[in-house]
Amino acid sequence: MAPQPVDPGGLRCPGCGRRSKPAEDALVCSACRAPLSYLPPERAPARGQLTGKGVWRYAPLLPDVPPVTLGEGGTPLVESLRVGPRLSLDLAYKVEGCNPSGSFKDRGTTVLVSALAKAGYRVVADDSSGNAGAALATYAARAGLAARLYVPKEASPRKLAQIRALGAELRTIAGPRERCTEAVFEDCAREQDLAYASHTLSPFFLAGLTSLAYELAEEQDWRSPEHLIVPAGGGGLFLGLVYGFLRMAEWGWVSHVPQVHLVQPAACAPLARAFVRGSTHPLPVVPGQTVAEGTRIASPERGTEVLAALRTVGGEARAVEDAQILRALQRLACEEGLWVEPTSGLAVAGLELLATEGVLQSGERVVVVLTGSGLKSP
């Protein structure tokens, strides 16, 4: 058999495997319309090349763009004092609320805005009234770009305050949530210097999220935990962790890929319901109200990709009720001193559930990702 060529990394379709030109504004595969992924080179860069701290410490593993940065990443990994011992687990929390705009979305946004600034765009747009919108407004301001957010009419004014404070333009769109996405697409097709900075579709955003995997591995002396637990709406954070650890295992940087588990609110759980039924595609849901509003996404664009990745890493997907989320939040705050936004409570509620079920075994190393600051919560 002829030797396989070395994969230089770049944009690739997880749906059909097709390679794409490395365009900074690329979103979906031209053949099958699946959202593209960014993969770092197959040949491992030397770990000695890693310098600095935070997301851009891993620049050799990220797209080659001049960074627009606010010092994101390098967030605290806090050992559990009470919840872990109670569950007989070696437990730690990754506190992503310490990022500049208050959530993990900064990891994806720093890379995406860097790419779009390099491509010469002047205005960046997204459909988000939550953490992704706040992150885009933050990094656009940093880059000297204008930001425009398309938000549903019913978005809470409190959530929009951060976006507005950063000088972003808000376009309120009537009708169902999908109308916001359609409106961005329409305007981007019409306005030449307007880029769709989509936190769900962009491979550059996803690439930035892989930095969490590299950082977690390095700060634990290149040892993978047995389990990672994350909240999931679109599943981007989940995918970033899976892709990062898969690549590190291929390079021999870590001995194994952790089981990565995702948790959704019972009121909107298209991924968890599909997983439990053995479906390879997300199940359609009518989203109900939930305190975990950051994960209220009825049809995740990367849903099929997420379900495939769950099977690859032997992860579990669970749905939890709001009462469980609120109880978990309270325990986390009172027992550990960690105050996080309700969406992060999903992962903590999932931790308790997976421990009860015996998925997490006594003495195993578990890291729970706390996605956003409590200062964000209403």
The nearest distance, CB 200 to Zn ion, in angstroms, is 16
Whichever of 36 and 355 has its CB closer to Zn ion, that residue is 36
The rounded distance, in Å, linking the Cα atoms of 110 and 142 is: 10
Beta-carbon neighbour count of residue 185 at 10 Å? 16
> Shortest gap between Cβ of 205 and Zn ion (angstroms)?
18
Of the pair 36, 369, the CB lying nearest Zn ion is at 36
Looking at 11, 12, 13, 27, which residue binds Zn ion (CB under 5 A)? 13
Residue with tokens 């809470």, as numbered in its chain: 156
- What letters, b where the CB count within 10 A reaches 16 and e where it falls short, cover 44-78? eeeeeebeeebbbbbbebbbebebbbbebbbbeeb
* Closer CB to Zn ion, 69 or 304, in the complex: 304
- Name the minimum Å distance from CB 201 to Zn ion: 13
Q: Are 231 and 371 in contact (CB under 8 A)?
A: yes
Question: Shortest gap between Cβ of 202 and Zn ion (angstroms)?
Answer: 16
Nearer to Zn ion, 26 or 124 (CB): 26
Sheet with strand 123-126: strands edge to edge: 169-173, 146-152, 123-126, 194-196
Q: Which alpha helices (H) appear in the chain, and where do they start and end?
A: 83-87, 105-118, 131-143, 157-165, 178-190, 203-219, 236-251, 270-277, 303-313, 322-331, 342-357
Distance of CA 229 to the CA centre of its chain: 12
Cβ at position 307, least distance to Zn ion in Å: 17
The span of 8-16, 65-73, 74-82, 259-267 binding Zn ion (CB under 5 A) equals: 8-16
124 bridge partner residues: 147, 195
Nearer to Zn ion, 32 or 334 (CB): 32
Report if residue 161 touches Zn ion, rule: CB under 5 A. Answer: no
CA distance 370 to 376: 13
Nearer Cβ to Zn ion, position 101 or 200? Answer: 200
Query: Closest CB to Zn ion among 29 and 239?
Result: 29
Per-residue binder mask for Zn ion (CB under 5 A), 21-50, x = binder: --------x-xx-x----------------
Count of residues that bind Zn ion according to CB under 5 A: 8
Q: Which residue number, 13 or 329, has a Cβ lying nearer to Zn ion?
A: 13
Tell how far CA 269 is from the center of its chain: 16
Roughly what angle, to the nearest 10 degrees, separates helices 236-251 and 105-118?
Answer: 80
Binder among 15, 73, 203, 374 for Zn ion (CB under 5 A): 15
Among 8, 16, 175, 255, binds Zn ion (CB under 5 A): 16
Q: Which two three-digit tokens encode residue 119?
A: 């491509």
| Shortest CB 33 distance to Zn ion, Å | 7
The residue type of 120 is: G
Cβ 282 to Zn ion shortest distance, Å:
18
Residue 29: CB minimum distance to Zn ion, A: 3
Q: Return the range that interacts with Zn ion (CB under 5 A); candidates 18-26, 213-221, 276-284, 317-325.
A: 18-26
Give the footprint of Zn ion on this chain (CB under 5 A): 13, 15-16, 18, 29, 31-32, 34
